[in-house]
Chain A
């Protein structure tokens, strides 16, 4: 193998390049990304960056790293087409780049709900550094922010805005917060935490249109029942869609993401996919797509290992995730979706720990500001509930004594 091309310079693409060098790949590595500048991390965009404005602190690696590792970085360049027969990527400038292996790390983009006036000046979204810079500049003059979407990003932003003394209304269509990713019990806990920060939250409420003022600027949100929520900043945070178009046009199977097998290969053995864009076989045998640093980074490491070493194990890393909302760090080990049983463990201090089970085995653990329990939980996912019951659900104890679970 001489030449590996990576499309997408987000956290997953960057990790793939780094891991390939760590695994000893000596050939050419070309990264093609449409965002300008060096690869950076997104999580702080809705957290520390909003307060500090320090963009340098977001960089995954300094410029010197790419030079010393001979990783060629084509930033600000869109990949337009994949020619699988010739094994070439064509960029929008018409240049063609041959590959022996291609890694698709094109991530996701924000979903834009079909609301009238969505393009009005003053409507913000938050995915890129450019988005965050513009929101941060405006936040200083914002009195009331209206957030459409009560998921992680909408709620992290809400907490940041409250800390900056901006009043906030969050509009969520579902009957609870973060409904796609956490248990109803955890949704409820966070509802109360956001109330205590002074955020107004409208659950089970549909946004119908962006309101505009006389100059055509966004002035709030009209709800489906006709009520109006006025605000000088409107943030649309209604989830993302995977960037599958390149892969789909090249004839690769896509179903809520680029479909890959247990070794993260697409239909084409010369093409892998990772991170936010990849739908991979999850712990329950179903294909899942995760939007997390963990998935992007662990996928990338797995692909690099598979390319450099013969016959590796299938991908089987335990998912984990975090979200900082004000002073509350929510941590999730495992996957909380489709649990069929739940145990809430009150803690002597702080918030309860929530254990979620699927078919008699531990599927996920949700904690708030409890890193020790979270770290133990990561090692216990898939443990039979009887084993945990035997030690009174003391996860720290269980992690030390329980036989390691084969993943």
Chain B
């Protein structure tokens, strides 16, 4: 399954992800700069902050419990489209999803 990451400077990187894999994991595995994932997806660090492209907001679904409080601690501006990428798992509806990366995670 394809995910396209768009960095803050506009650089696009397309990667292959497996069904069920989190977007954070797919980014780290494919060496995408801009997603850190320090806690390995345990909802403990907010270094996997991303902005889901408007067109995909419905498909990625709602924030998990506690996600918004963690996002409060994120290093970059929090927007309505902000999510923790470790909490979004790839599924058929997300084939081709577009994810924007924040300026920084620390």
CA distance A304 to B99 in the complex (A): 30
Q: A371-B70, A372-B66, A375-B73 are in contact. Are A41 and B31 (CB under 8 A)?
A: no
Whole-angstrom distance between the Cβ of B55 and the nearest chain A Cβ: 28
Measured in the bound complex, the distance between the Cα atoms of B89 and A260 in whole Å is 42
Stretch of A61-69, A121-129, A138-146, A249-257 contacting B (4+ beta carbons < 8 Å): A61-69
Interface bin, chain B: 10 to 19
In the bound complex, residues from chain A placing their C-beta under 8 Å from that of B31 are 61-62, 64-65, 68
CA–CA, A59 to B70, complex, Å? 24
Chain A residue, CB-CB nearest to B106: A301
Q: How far is the CB of A48 from chain B (nearest CB, A)?
A: 8
Q: Mark A113-150, 1 if CB is under 8 A from B, else 0.
A: 00000000000000000000000000000000000000
Q: Is B100 an interface residue (CB 8 A)?
A: no
- Asked whether, in the complex, the Cβ of B66 is within 8 Å of the Cβ of A322, the reply is no
Point out the residues of chain A lying under 8 angstroms from B65, CB to CB. 371
**Which chain A positions have C-beta within 8 A of B1?**
none
Q: Which of B18-45 contact A (CB under 8 A)?
A: 25, 28-31, 38-40, 42-44
Q: Are A59 and B29 in contact (CB under 8 A)?
A: yes
B40 contacts A44, C-beta separation under 8 Å:
yes
| Minimum CB–CB distance for A124 against chain B, Å | 23
Contacts of A372 in B (CB 8 A): 66, 69-70
| Distance from B82 Cβ to chain A, minimum over Cβ atoms (Å) | 15
Q: Which chain B residues border A41 with CB–CB below 8 Å?
A: 40
Chain B residues whose CB sits within 8 angstroms of the CB of A60 once the complex forms:
28
In chain A, what residue has the closest Cβ to B64? A371
Is the beta-carbon distance between A62 and B30 smaller than 8 angstroms? Answer: yes
* B70/A375 in contact, CB under 8 A: yes
Residue of B nearest to A297 (CB): B38
In the complex, B77 has a CB within 8 A of chain A:
no
CA distance A371 to B63 in the complex (A): 13
Give every chain B residue within 8 A of A370 (Cβ-Cβ): 66
- Partner pick for B42 among A57, A65, A324, CB 8 A cutoff: A324
**Bound-complex Cα distance A324 to B43 (A):** 11
What is the CB-to-nearest-CB distance from A240 to chain B, in angstroms, rounded to a whole number? Answer: 20
User: Does residue B58 face the partner (Cβ distance < 8 Å to A)?
Assistant: no
Tell me whether A375 and B69 are in contact in the complex, defined as CB-CB below 8 angstroms, given that A57-B25, A62-B30 are known contacts: yes
A57 to chain B, nearest CB (A): 6
Question: Does B72 sit within 8 A of A, measured CB to CB?
Answer: yes
Instruction: Find the residue from B39, B43, B44, B65 having the highest chain A CB count within 10 A.
Output: B44
Residue of B nearest to A42 (CB): B40
Q: Which chain B residues border A97 with CB–CB below 8 Å?
A: none
Contact pick for B28, options A44, A61, A374, CB 8 Å: A61
For A44-60 the 0/1 string (1 means CB < 8 A from B) is: 10000000000011011
Alpha-carbon distance A396/B65, docked complex (angstroms): 15
Interface bits A366-380 vs B (CB < 8 Å: 1, else 0): 000011101110110
- Closest A residue to B21 by CB, please name it: A57
CB distance from A366 to the nearest CB of B (A): 14
Closest-CB distance, A372 to chain B (whole angstroms): 3
Contact A322 B42 (CB under 8 A): yes
Q: Is A376 a contact of B69 with CB atoms below 8 Å? A: yes
For chain A, residues 55 to 91, give those with C-beta under 8 angstroms from any C-beta of chain B: 56-57, 59-62, 64-65, 68
Chain B residues close to A by CB (< 8 Å): 25, 28-31, 38-40, 42-44, 46, 65-66, 69-70, 72-73, 106
A-B contact pairs, 9 of them (CB 8 A): A60-B28, A62-B31, A64-B31, A297-B38, A322-B42, A322-B44, A371-B44, A374-B44, A396-B69
Apart from A324-B42, A375-B69, 12 more pairs, CB < 8 Å: A61-B28, A62-B30, A65-B31, A297-B38, A301-B106, A320-B44, A322-B42, A329-B42, A331-B44, A371-B44, A375-B73, A379-B73
